[in-house]
């Protein structure tokens, strides 16, 4: 054990888990291709201003959770707490407005938020993030929601709940804020300390409070729908009609406001009962004013991000398949020093011919090497000792059936290929 461990809320993804992560990324990559989204790789840190202006100064993320530091040039830098602001920054910086719209991109990688760690909540966590930039059409929202659900379907997640709401736009939100503010003021005694302070600054955020006392107040809060302007209402109706048309079940949740300030119109989340209190596997929505907030022209956009750590937790709990566990074709077993050189050479030939192979360099006993072969889930063991070297052969043992035969060293690659393809058939 080292004296230094990973910081709180941060963890290693080790081989016994990493192949499952690779499977999840593979499924998202394939789904992205099927929906016409291209992968991009974005920086892990950005100028702090991007997030402060993009996500909003009064959000928990910007106020309390960012990993911000001065670099050696005294610039304020922040480890990205999410990818949407970066994606829009990249779209603007590379003048993607000149391309056919919408520009559909996705990325994956770690995000950083200084939150209190708990089940399903980490300080470094992974997201897959999908953004459709340049289209104001409600069907872009429907496509984004469908994409997330299709990926979850392919991963085998079950018992998910889709919540949707509209958070309006700068036209109609002030009226809704006023309505909410009047309502909450009338029940101020029942609100928690934090919500009382939210009343002035951002009454919408009260809707998000998880405290029991506040929840009973928010249950009767006026719904946003009544306050939406004509355009937002039409947009919301079309999103719902699109979801209905594709047979997507969802629940309207008037309390869904999301924790980031850039949302306009559609907001949605996908919840899993398998997760406890941190139950959102994915969240997203439309953000038509984000590009302007960071100094660009008007670029409508919609997207979502799904938490990979949480997806894995749900998949484990629901015993979903992760595809085939990694294994190797051949484990080379050497019985003495000379054979070890022979095995090294043979493995080189195997690998050049697409046969995956591994060996042990330590000169351990045959029994120990065979144990390693089964730990590595090898299909075959190729055994070389003094007598095989003399005869110019290799003993090939099928580790499933236990059968073994001696094969000429000259044709070992072809013979092993034949055995492996017969197994695969
Ligand atoms: P978000 O709701 O903050 O949205 O995060 C999206 C997802 O990331 C959550 O539903 C959850 O699965 C995962 N997540 C968030 N925080 C943590 C954490 N501390 N530990 C583990 N998982 C976490 C966004 O980030 C927006 N950028 C989504 C978006 C994209 N909206 C439009 N486009």
pLDDT digit string (tens) for 292-334?
A: 999 999 999 999 999 999 999 999 999 999 999 999 999 999 9
Ligand 1 atom at minimal distance to the Cα of residue 269: 10
In which band, very low, low, confident or very high, does the pLDDT at 133 lie, cut at 50, 70 and 90?
very high
> For residue 45, how far is its CA from the centre of ligand 1 (angstroms)?
17
- Any residues with CB less than 8 A from the CB of 74 and at least 6 apart, and which? none
Pocket test for ligand 1, best of 28, 65, 126, 127 (most atoms within 8 A of CB): 127
Q: What mean pLDDT is predicted for residues 399-415?
A: 96
User: Which amino acid residue places its CA nearest to atom 14 of ligand 1?
Assistant: 307
Q: What mean pLDDT is predicted for residues 136-163?
A: 98
> For residue 165, how far is its CA from the centre of ligand 1 (angstroms)?
17
Alpha-carbon gap, residue 362 to 346, rounded angstroms: 17
User: Which amino acid residue places its CA nearest to atom 9 of ligand 1?
Assistant: 282
In which band, very low, low, confident or very high, does the pLDDT at 276 lie, cut at 50, 70 and 90?
confident
Alpha-carbon gap, residue 334 to 329, rounded angstroms: 16
Alpha-carbon gap, residue 156 to 110, rounded angstroms: 23
Q: Are 134 and 299 contacting, i.e. CB atoms less than 8 angstroms apart? A: yes
- Any residues with CB less than 8 A from the CB of 75 and at least 6 apart, and which? 47
Q: How far is CA 240 from the centre of its chain?
A: 26
Q: How far is CA 408 from the centre of its chain?
A: 49
Rounded (10°) CA dihedral 194, 195, 199, 205: 110
Strand partners, 103: 133
What is the number of H-type helices and E-type strands within the chain?
15, 16
Output the furthest CA–CA distance in the chain (Å, rounded): 94
Q: What mean pLDDT is predicted for residues 43-53?
A: 97
Pocket test for ligand 1, best of 11, 277, 307 (most atoms within 8 A of CB): 307
Strand partners, 76: 70
Q: What mean pLDDT is predicted for residues 124-149?
A: 98
Q: Where are the beta strands (DSSP E) in 294-337?
A: 301-307, 330-334
Mean pLDDT for the chain overall: 95
Q: Are 206 and 180 contacting, i.e. CB atoms less than 8 angstroms apart? A: yes
Spatial CA neighbour of 399 closest among 319, 331, 322, 304? 331
User: Which contiguous run of DSSP H or E holds residue 223?
Assistant: none
Pocket test for ligand 1, best of 114, 118, 283 (most atoms within 8 A of CB): 283
Position 424 pLDDT exceeds 70: no
> For residue 111, how far is its CA from the centre of ligand 1 (angstroms)?
9
User: Which amino acid residue places its CA nearest to atom 1 of ligand 1?
Assistant: 283
User: Which amino acid residue places its CA nearest to atom 20 of ligand 1?
Assistant: 121
Position 398 pLDDT exceeds 70: yes
Rounded (10°) CA dihedral 205, 211, 215, 216: -140
Residue with tokens 């991009």: 40
Alpha-carbon gap, residue 82 to 44, rounded angstroms: 9
- Name residues contacting ligand 1 (CB within 6 A): 82, 84, 113, 115, 120-122, 125, 127, 129, 131, 259-260, 280-285, 287, 303-307, 309-310
> For residue 107, how far is its CA from the centre of ligand 1 (angstroms)?
13
Give DSSP secondary structure letters for 374-397.
Answer: HHTT-SEEEEE-HHHHHHTEEEEE
**Secondary structure percentages of the chain, helix, strand, coil, to 5:** 45, 20, 35
Alpha-carbon gap, residue 13 to 312, rounded angstroms: 11
For the entire predicted model, the pTM comes to 0.94
- Any residues with CB less than 8 A from the CB of 325 and at least 6 apart, and which? 19, 377
Per-residue pLDDT, 278: 87
Q: Are 339 and 382 contacting, i.e. CB atoms less than 8 angstroms apart? A: no
Ligand 1 atom at minimal distance to the Cα of residue 123: 19
Q: What mean pLDDT is predicted for residues 58-85?
A: 96
User: Which amino acid residue places its CA nearest to atom 25 of ligand 1?
Assistant: 82
> For residue 192, how far is its CA from the centre of ligand 1 (angstroms)?
25
> For residue 100, how far is its CA from the centre of ligand 1 (angstroms)?
28
Antiparallel, parallel or unpaired: β 301-307 and 124-133: antiparallel
User: Which amino acid residue places its CA nearest to atom 2 of ligand 1?
Assistant: 283
Pocket test for ligand 1, best of 310, 312, 314 (most atoms within 8 A of CB): 310
Q: What mean pLDDT is predicted for residues 256-268?
A: 94
User: Which amino acid residue places its CA nearest to atom 23 of ligand 1?
Assistant: 307
Q: What are phi and psi of 148, to 5 degrees?
A: -60, -40
């Amino acid at each position: 054990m080292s004296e230094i461990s990973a910081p709180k809320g941060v963890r290693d993804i080790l081989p016994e888990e990493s192949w499952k992560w690779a499977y999840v990324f593979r499924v998202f990559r394939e789904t992205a291709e099927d929906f016409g989204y291209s992968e991009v790789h974005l920086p892990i840190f950005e100028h702090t201003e991007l997030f402060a202006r993009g996500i909003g100064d009064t959000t928990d993320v910007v106020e309390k959770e960012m990993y911000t530091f001065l670099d050696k040039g005294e610039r304020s830098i922040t480890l990205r707490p999410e990818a949407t602001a970066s994606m829009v920054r990249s779209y603007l910086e590379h003048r993607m407005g000149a391309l056919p719209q919408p520009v559909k991109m996705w990325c994956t990688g770690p995000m950083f938020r200084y939150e209190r760690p708990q089940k399903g909540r980490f300080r470094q966590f992974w997201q897959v993030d999908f953004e459709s930039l340049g289209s104001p059409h409600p069907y872009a929202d429907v496509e984004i929601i469908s994409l997330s659900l299709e990926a979850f379907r392919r991963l085998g997640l079950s018992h998910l709940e889709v919540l949707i709401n509209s958070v309006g736009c700068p036209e109609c939100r002030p009226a809704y804020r006023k309505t909410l503010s009047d309502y909450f003021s009338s029940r101020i005694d029942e609100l928690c300390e934090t919500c009382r302070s939210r009343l002035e600054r951002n009454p919408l955020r009260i809707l998000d409070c998880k405290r029991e006392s506040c929840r009973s107040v928010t249950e009767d809060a006026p719904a946003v729908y009544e306050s939406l302007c004509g355009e937002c209402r039409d947009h919301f109706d079309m999103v719902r009609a699109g979801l209905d048309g594709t047979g997507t079940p969802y629940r309207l949740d008037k309390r869904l406001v999301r924790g980031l300030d850039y949302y306009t119109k559609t907001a949605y989340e996908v919840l899993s009962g398998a997760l406890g209190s941190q139950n959102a596997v994915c969240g997203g929505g439309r953000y038509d004013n984000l590009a302007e907030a960071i100094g660009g022209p008007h670029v409508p956009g919609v997207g979502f991000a799904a938490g990979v750590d949480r997806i894995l937790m749900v998949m484990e709990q629901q015993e979903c398949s992760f595809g085939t566990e990694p294994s190797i074709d051949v484990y080379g077993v050497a019985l003495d020093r000379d054979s070890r050189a022979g095995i090294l050479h043979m493995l080189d030939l195997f690998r050049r011919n697409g046969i995956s192979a591994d060996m042990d360099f330590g000169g351990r006993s045959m029994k120990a090497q065979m144990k390693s072969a089964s730990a590595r889930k090898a299909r075959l063991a190729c055994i070389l000792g003094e007598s095989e070297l003399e005869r110019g052969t290799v003993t090939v043992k099928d580790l499933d059936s236990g059968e073994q035969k001696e094969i000429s060293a000259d044709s070992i690659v072809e013979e092993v290929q034949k055995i492996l393809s017969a197994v695969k058939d």
